[in-house]
Amino acid sequence: MPGYAPLAAELSLMTLALLANEFAAKNLAMATLGNVLGMKQQARLDSYDGSGGLCEKMKAIKSAVRSQFGTSSAEYGQVKGIGL
């Protein structure tokens, strides 16, 4: 912009352009971090709900305890209340 000459150095065109570039770089970094976070969240969900995950293992344990000790046993009483 011709004629733009602010008194404050932090409002100069050069400073504002540098700031805009810095924000653009930070926005790009956040997009990259968002993708990384999404992949890590998906991996975490898979470890709980995926094949061989915690939920599947706990169901198998509950079933094994129920079949070995019966539904009225103290052992089954300890595991039946564990939520999945």
Q: How far is CA 57 from CA 10, 20, 39, 49, 60, in A?
A: 60, 51, 23, 10, 5
Q: Are residues 58 and 75 located together in one domain of the fold? A: yes
Query: Where in the sequence is the domain holding 22, given as residue range(s)?
Result: 12-49
Q: What is the pLDDT of residue 1?
A: 65
In a domain, 4, yes or no: no
Q: How far is CA 47 from CA 6, 17, 36, 59, 62, in A?
A: 57, 45, 17, 14, 18
In a domain, 76, yes or no: yes
Q: What is the pLDDT of residues 53-80, one digit of tens each?
A: 899 999 999 999 999 999 999 999 999 8
For 46, the 3-state DSSP assignment is helix
Residue 37 has pLDDT above 80, yes or no: yes
Q: What is the pTM of this model?
A: 0.54
